[in-house]
Amino acid sequence: MGNRLLVVDDSRVSRMIIKGKVASLCPDWEVFEAASGDEALALAPQLRPHFVTMDVNMPGISGFEAADRLRGLLPQARIALLTANIQESSRERAAAMGVKFVQKPVTEAAIQQAVDYFTAVP
């Protein structure tokens, strides 16, 4: 089975952009979508994604909280927070959680940063 990516963002457009770019960069990956942190947490046990892109500001639980909970469910998964929430406190919180911080907007360069993080040898 190949790599699995879960794209979590309340913006359908952002999910489509990420999914499309990842499909061109990593055509053998399976890409799944969730519109909220709660949905991601519900899907994660069945999907068991290797990688997760996570928006921070979403309805329901925040991306930080969802990423923290996903850490418990999937300790080996690599998580990248894609967010417009660029305050230093957000960067520090991401670093403390052991997740990659990628600044929005969702551009080709931002998605490439996340993919590079996912595929880097630990």
Two tokens, residue 64: 């930080």
pLDDT of residue 46: 96
What three-state secondary structure class fits 18? Answer: helix
For residue 122, pLDDT over 80 is answered with no
For residue 121, pLDDT over 90 is answered with no
* Mean pLDDT value across residues 19-46: 97
Amino acid at 48: R
pLDDT of residue 1: 55
Residue 56, number of CB atoms within 10 A of its CB: 23
Q: CA nearest 56: which of 17, 85, 33, 16?
A: 85
What CA–CA distance (Å, rounded) separates 69 from 6? 14
Domain 4-119: what homologous superfamily?
Response regulator (3.40.50.2300)
From residue 5, give the alpha-carbon distance in Å to each of 1, 52, 76, 96, 103: 12, 6, 13, 22, 19
pLDDT of residue 35: 98
**Tens of pLDDT, residues 35-61:** 999 999 999 999 999 999 999 999 999
**With b meaning 16 or more CB within 10 Å and e meaning fewer, what string describes 33-52?**
bbbbbbbbbebbeebebbbb
Average pLDDT of the chain?
A: 94
How does residue 83 score in pLDDT terms, banded at 50, 70 and 90?
A: confident
pLDDT of residue 86: 79
